[in-house]
Amino acid sequence: MEENNYTFEFGDHGETTAVEIKACGSDVLRYNNISKGTAFTEQERQKLHLSGFLPPRVKDLQSQVASSLKVIDNKESDLERFIYIRSLFDRNVTLAHAVIASDIPKFLSIIYTPTVGLACQHYSSMFRRANGIHFYPGNIDQAEEILKRYCDRDIRVAVVTDNQGILGIGDQGAGGIAICLGKLMLYTQGAGIAPWHCLPISLDVGTDNPELLADDNYLGWQHPRVKGEDYLEFLGKFARAFKAVFPKALCQWEDFSKQNAFTIRDVYLHDLISFNDDIQGTGSIALAGILAAMKVKKEKFVDQVFLIHGAGAGGIGIAEQIETELMEEGLDTDEARKRIFTLDSRGVVTTDRTLEPYKEKFAKDPATLGWLNSPEDNTLINVIKHEKVTVLIGTSGQPGCFTREVVVAVGKNSDRPVILPLSNPTTKTEALPQDIYDWTDGRALVATGSPFPPVKHGNREIRIGQMNNAFVFPGVGLGVVASGALEVLPTFFSAAAHAVAEYVTEEDLKAGILCPPLDKLREVSLKVAKFVGAEAIRGGVTSECVYSRYKHANDLERLNTLIQGMCWNPEYLPIL
């Protein structure tokens, strides 16, 4: 497979084993996928005619990482650290990932949540080098040709956004591609999918952000957003081109607006190997935390009453995943939905309102809510008290809405109430973990969407489990790629949730901690990949695995060997 002036060699499992470099001199240093910077050996410098183009001293990867960490520690803000890591990535992919791997919990908050939100907002002003592909109405008709010209041809995973629903900050126009870059770095860190198999894509259909429309420095397509049939036609042109050029690659939809997120997920469910992480990944990690909580509570999942405060893509995705689990444990659809309440800015979502289509399935008939006599009754505290909610989940982006009164009310319905303030970034969280523990006398089982430091309650210090989608989507991607799955089934996310929940140690469960630590990201991702791959085999959606000598990963032993073997680690490749 030829890529510019270098060719990767692959092993039996589809893993990258070596690189043949056809360039010489300073040209070698232009390619971030193969550059070793100052780590090129004397022999390599002679072979590649690099003498004179690098300082004399040869440094190994470990020394380069140590030097980079010193530079990062001297930066004054996380945004500056983000810029440095991205610039390092643009020069030397292997070194950048080795730096991140040296401290996953620390760097996850820099390359992704919450710092990446700032990177989206400042994208145009801090632009250094183009990454990935930008489609807009002026070039979408050439989408297939553009994809074919992309320098890395062996794409296995693409993260695709239309930039409209970024984190908790909304429409960021062309800056949304920073989210794709961050997600793909996590695919590499978690699942070992090499950077040259990853493709970030921005579907730039304009922006309705008035600041961007008025900004002379804005780099995106500076027009109001394309909507309606024109928008769907744009998406269709992209989808057809992507399937034609990368028919076996996984397409992860990312940060679309609420209704578009569900529409696009469902329209391309069978036409592309695709899923929406904001919906399905969020649902899966939330389910994983609840499953872990059931082990602590020693109660049945089907005996809980669930309230999701925030009926957007993430909230409804969690409701869908809870419904799936309830049905897998024996309830029918109606019984499952009776136990799930969704709440938006107007209270519990009810059928007597005009609703967005994605909210309809979990809407309640107001006649079945005996306590709901007037609109004033439709409050968070009332549904908790009257419906005996035992699991409270926050996806609302409303900081502080889980007040003391709210938390205490859930605590009256259960000896170990499960309270999950999941909104990102940290400033949007529904309640602080310290407050939740204090208000429940330490009885609550808590996990958050954003990173929080440990809290103290009584004589114990409690690590706050972070329900980060990074525990789910990298493993899902690897499981899909390794199994040769032709479709992403909803059950993949149930399998992923159970894998994550099983990885929570007995020691953590005894402490009431519901998620693994982030420094176990690789191990968790491999476990998720094995569960997902096995589910693909059971679901009958596997086909030829084009990345390995195994044409079909059709038994678990072969699948597990393939998953383990195809992972890339940030180490310099031998040069042929």
DSSP SS3 for 378: coil
If we measure between CA atoms, which residue out of 147, 30, 105, 210 comes closest to residue 466? 105
Measured between alpha carbons, how far is 448 from 433 in angstroms, rounded to an integer?
8
Choose the catalytic residue: 6, 31, 183, 358.
Answer: 183
Contact (CB, 8 A) for 196 and 190: no
C-alpha triplet 196, 536, 237: angle, nearest 5°: 55
**DSSP state letter for 167:** T
What Å distances lie between residue 296 and 89, 242, 418, 444, CA to CA? 42, 45, 10, 11
C-alpha distances (whole Å) from 105 to each of 113, 159, 470, 506, 516 are 11, 22, 11, 21, 11
| CA 27/CA 22 separation, integer angstroms | 10
Query: Do β-strands 16-21 and 6-10 pair in parallel, antiparallel, or remain unpaired?
Result: antiparallel
Helix axes 491-503, 313-328, angle to 10 degrees: 80
In sequence order, the 6+-apart residues with CB closer than 8 A to the CB of 152 are 3, 33, 196, 197, 199
Distance CA 555, CA 260 (A): 37
547 is catalytic: no
Q: Which residues contact 233 (CB under 8 A, 6 or more apart)?
A: none
Q: How many whole angstroms from its chain centre is CA 157?
A: 13
Phi, psi of 43 (to 5 degrees): -65, -45
- State yes or no: is 112 an active-site residue: yes
Give the separation between CA 181 and CA 438, rounded to whole angstroms.
38
Q: Which of 112, 187, 218, 550 is catalytic?
A: 112
- The set of residues, in sequence order, having a beta carbon less than 8 Å from that of 243 and lying 6+ positions away, is 271, 272
For residue 150, how many other CB atoms are within 10 A of its CB?
15
Q: What is the dihedral of CA 448, 452, 453, 455, to 10 degrees?
A: -50
Cα(110)–Cα(119) distance, integer angstroms? 10
CA 24 – CA 197 distance, rounded (Å): 24
E strand segments, 90-152: 133-135
The set of residues, in sequence order, having a beta carbon less than 8 Å from that of 57 and lying 6+ positions away, is 38
Active site members: 112, 183
